[in-house]
Amino acid sequence: MSGHLSSQRISLWMLGERDARDERHVGECAQCAAEVARFEAALGQFRGSLRVWSSRQEHRKAAAHWAAPAGFWNWGGRLAAVAAVLLLAILVPQYKGPRQPKAATVIAQADVQWLNDVDSGVSRAAPQAMEPLLKLVAWDTSAAANATEKDNNDTQQ
């Protein structure tokens, strides 16, 4: 190589992109070796200062995150905390209490209505379509029951 390493070649050297000619030149040329060493030392100091700064920032953020606001535990803060606890103590049991699902309630009501309809249909003396005819004829249910009972007694004797 005819001249010294350019700043671009030194930057590539620091990135690990070097070829055999650059390595041979840095090994033979004291000026380029000193420049590479100075650049490595500057990057090392920069890396160290970044690590120290970032660790300080992490500690500050963590401390600020967990610190209580100034004056929070005065009487107002205590009162707010007690009110929040009481509110939770009242609302949680009501929310978690036993509940019947709405769908089951609706189905149960429909079942009861259906059973009532069946019961009223079965207990009729005549089908609904024939009820107007029943009004034309006077029925004496007690006489009919007595006659049926008398017929049963006569056949048994």
pLDDT per residue over 31-53, tens digit each?
A: 999 988 988 888 888 888 888 88
Question: How far does CA 152 lie from the centroid of its chain?
Answer: 75
User: For the segment 101-157, what is each residue's pLDDT rounded down to a tens digit?
Assistant: 677 777 888 888 888 888 877 776 677 777 777 777 766 666 555 656 666 566 555
Q: Is the dihedral of CA 65, 71, 76, 82 positive or negative?
A: positive
Q: In the chain, count of helices (H) and strands (E)?
A: 7, 0
Measured between alpha carbons, how far is 35 from 25 in angstroms, rounded to an integer?
12
pLDDT at 1: 47
Measured between alpha carbons, how far is 109 from 32 in angstroms, rounded to an integer?
95
Q: Where are the domains of the chain?
A: 1-68
Q: How many CA atoms lie within 13 A of 83 on its CB side?
A: 6
User: For the segment 67-77, what is each residue's pLDDT rounded down to a tens digit?
Assistant: 655 555 566 77
Q: Give pTM, 2 decimals.
A: 0.35
User: For the segment 10-34, what is each residue's pLDDT rounded down to a tens digit?
Assistant: 888 787 888 888 888 888 999 999 9
